[in-house]
Homo-oligomer: A and B are copies of this chain.
Amino acid sequence: MVKMMREKIKIKKIDYLPARQVTFSKRRRGIFKKAAELSVLCESEVAVVIFSATGKLFDYSSSSFLTRNKVI
């Protein structure tokens, strides 16, 4: 197979919608994973809230975030 060269990506809006949606999905999960790891490694509480460009909400929080921090 042919080896493809890829450019190092720049941190600017991804213009092509399908690629932007794929990146949104992949990176969103990446952040949630990192948040979960941080909470376990360092016994900290982490919450992440993301609104997509279309207004859809995605969120993650470590299990005791809300109670430990007296949000509820």
Q: Are B44 and A46 in contact (CB under 8 A)?
A: no
Residue of chain B at shortest CB distance from A43: B53
CB–CB B41/A45 < 8 A: no
Q: A24-B38, A40-B11 are in contact. Are A46 and B49 (CB under 8 A)?
A: yes
With A30-B34, A34-B27, A50-B46 already in contact, the answer to whether A41 and B13 are too (CB < 8 A) is yes
Residues of B within 8 A of A40 (CB): 11-13
CA distance A13 to B51 in the complex (A): 30
Nearest first, the 6 closest Cβ-Cβ pairs linking A and B are A24-B42, A45-B51, A43-B53, A47-B49, A27-B38, A46-B50
What are 6 A-B contacts with C-beta separation under 8 Å? Answer: A13-B42, A27-B37, A30-B34, A34-B34, A42-B52, A51-B69
